[in-house]
C-alpha cells in the first residue's frame, strides 16, 4: 500500500540560501570604485604635469647661474682690460655713434655691421686664428666642458719629427679636419702606460691636426712616449662654448654717457638668422612704449615672448617685451616695459639670449 504525504510549501518567496546574506559582506560599490579612480587620476596627472615644468625650471636656473657667473667675469675683465672698449663712445671722445664689441661674431660669424651699427673687435687683425681664440676663449666666453669624441688606444705606429708627432687611432674616423676649420677647439690628451706622464695639446696654445684616424700634435711627444706600447690611451675632445657675450654701446647721450649693455648668449650659433632684422610696418616713435607692425616672412618667424628682449640695431638700445599682441600670421605688435629712446624702423630678435645687464661708464673713466 502506498502512503501519500502532502507537500509543504514554503511561505517565503524565493529559495532558501545558505551562508551570509549579500548585505552582510564587506566591499565597495561600483560608484565608490569610480570615485576612487577619479581622485587617483587627478593626482597622477598633476604629478606628471610637474615633471616637464620642473625640467624647464631646472634648465632655466642652470642658465641663469652660469650667466651670473659670466657677468662677474665680464665686469672684472672690462675693468682690467679697458682697451676692450677702444673705438667706442665709452673710451673715445671722437666716437659718438653706437658700436658693438663682438670679436666672436667677427671671428665665427658675419663681418658685416649689426644692422647699421659697426661691429668692432679690439684684437689686432694681424693675429692668427689661434692667437685670437686664446684671448677670446678666456675673455669673451665662459670656460665650459668638453665633449669626448675619441677615448681609446693607439693602433698604429707613432711617427715623430723634431717638431711634431703623428698617431694612428683605431675605430671609425673622427671626421674632424682642422686644416679647414681652426675654430673647433680640439684638445688632445696623451696618457702614458705607466700612469706617470701625460701631455695635453689644446688648439688654442699648440698645433693640433685631426683628420680621419690620424692625429698630429706639436710640439712632439717626449721620447718616453714615442711608442704605442708606452701610451695607455689618447683622448680627443671638442670644446663646447656654451656661454658667450658681446657688448653693445649706444651713441653718446646727455652728459657724455654711453649706455653699455652686455648680452649673454647660450650656444650662440653665429648664423644670419640669429641676427635677422624685422621691419616695422607701423610708426614707433621715441617716447612710445608700443612697437607697431613687427613683420616677418614665411619661415622666419621670430621667437616673441613676454620677458624676452629685442634690439634696436640702428641706435644700440635693448628693450624688454611686456606683451605680444598678434595681428596676423606674419605680424605682431609689442608692448614694451619702458619707453622707446629713439625712433624705430626695424628690430632684431636675438635667439639664445639668457641674460642682459648694464655697464655704464663716463668717457675717459679708468674703469
Confidence of residue 182 (pLDDT cuts 50, 70, 90): very low
The percent of residues above 70 in pLDDT, for the chain, comes to 81
Confidence of residue 96 (pLDDT cuts 50, 70, 90): confident
Confidence of residue 367 (pLDDT cuts 50, 70, 90): very low
Average pLDDT, the chain: 80
Per-residue pLDDT at 56 exceeds 70: yes
Please return the burial class of 106, using the count of CB atoms within 10 Å of its CB with bins 0-12, 13-18 and 19+. Answer: buried
CATH class of this structure's domain 146-239: mainly beta
CB 98 within 8 A of CB 249: yes
Q: What is the mean pLDDT of residues 216-226?
A: 84
- 296-326 per-position pLDDT tens digit: 987 788 889 999 999 998 888 999 999 999 9
Per-residue pLDDT at 19 exceeds 80: no
Instruction: Kindly write down the DSSP assignment for every residue of 49-75, as one continuous string.
Output: HHHHHHHHHHHHHHHHHHHHHHHHHHH
- 294-304 per-position pLDDT tens digit: 999 877 888 89
CA distance 228 to 236: 16
For 10, other C-beta atoms within 10 Å of its C-beta total 8
Determine the pLDDT at residue 48: 85
Determine the pLDDT at residue 159: 84
Determine the pLDDT at residue 363: 46
CATH code 2.40.30 region(s) in the chain = 146-239
CB 278 within 8 A of CB 291: no
Confidence of residue 181 (pLDDT cuts 50, 70, 90): very low
Per-residue pLDDT at 186 exceeds 70: yes
CA angle 41, 46, 52 (to 5 degrees): 130
Cis, peptide link before residue 219, omega less than 30° from 0: yes
Determine the pLDDT at residue 360: 61
Amino acid at each position: 500500500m502506498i502512503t501519500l504525504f502532502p507537500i509543504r510549501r514554503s511561505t517565503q518567496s524565493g529559495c532558501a540560501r545558505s551562508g551570509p546574506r549579500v548585505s552582510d559582506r564587506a566591499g565597495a560599490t561600483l560608484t565608490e570604485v569610480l570615485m576612487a579612480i577619479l581622485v587617483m587620476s587627478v593626482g597622477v596627472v598633476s604629478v606628471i604635469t610637474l615633471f616637464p615644468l620642473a625640467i624647464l625650471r631646472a634648465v632655466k636656473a642652470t642658465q641663469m647661474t652660469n650667466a651670473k657667473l659670466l657677468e662677474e667675469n665680464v665686469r672684472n675683465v672690462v675693468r682690467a682690460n679697458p682697451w676692450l672698449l677702444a673705438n667706442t663712445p665709452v673710451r673715445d671722445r671722437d666716437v659718438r655713434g653706437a658700436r658693438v664689441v663682438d670679436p666672436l661674431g667677427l671671428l665665427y660669424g658675419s663681418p658685416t655691421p649689426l644692422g647699421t651699427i659697426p661691429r668692432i673687435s679690439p684684437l689686432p687683425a694681424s693675429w692668427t686664428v689661434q692667437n685670437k681664440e686664446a684671448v677670446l676663449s678666456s675673455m669673451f666666453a665662459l670656460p665650459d666642458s668638453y665633449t669626448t669624441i675619441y677615448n681609446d688606444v693607439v693602433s698604429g705606429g707613432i711617427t715623430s719629427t723634431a717638431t711634431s708627432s703623428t698617431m694612428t687611432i683605431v675605430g671609425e674616423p673622427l671626421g674632424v679636419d682642422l686644416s679647414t676649420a681652426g675654430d673647433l677647439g680640439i684638445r688632445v690628451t696623451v696618457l702614458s702606460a705607466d700612469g706617470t706622464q701625460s701631455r695635453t695639446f689644446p688648439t688654442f696654445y699648440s698645433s693640433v691636426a685631426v683628420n680621419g684616424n690620424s692625429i698630429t700634435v706639436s710640439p712632439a711627444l717626449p721620447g718616453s712616449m714615442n711608442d704605442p706600447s708606452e701610451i695607455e690611451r689618447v683622448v680627443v675632445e671638442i670644446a663646447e662654448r656654451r656661454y658667450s657675450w658681446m657688448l653693445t654701446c649706444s651713441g653718446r647721450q646727455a652728459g657724455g654717457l654711453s649706455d653699455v649693455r652686455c648680452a649673454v648668449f647660450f650656444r650662440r650659433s653665429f648664423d644670419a638668422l640669429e641676427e635677422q632684422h624685422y621691419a616695422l610696418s607701423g610708426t614707433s616713435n621715441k617716447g612710445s612704449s608700443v612697437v607697431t607692425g613687427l613683420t616677418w616672412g614665411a619661415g622666419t618667424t621670430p621667437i616673441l615672448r613676454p620677458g624676452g628682449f629685442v634690439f634696436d640695431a640702428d641706435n644700440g638700445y635693448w628693450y624688454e617685451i611686456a606683451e605680444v599682441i598678434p595681428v596676423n600670421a606674419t605680424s605682431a605688435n609689442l608692448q614694451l616695459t619702458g619707453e622707446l629712446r629713439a625712433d624705430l624702423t626695424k628690430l632684431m630678435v636675438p635667439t639664445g639670449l639668457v641674460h642682459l645687464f648694464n655697464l655704464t661708464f663716463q668717457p675717459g673713466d679708468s674703469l
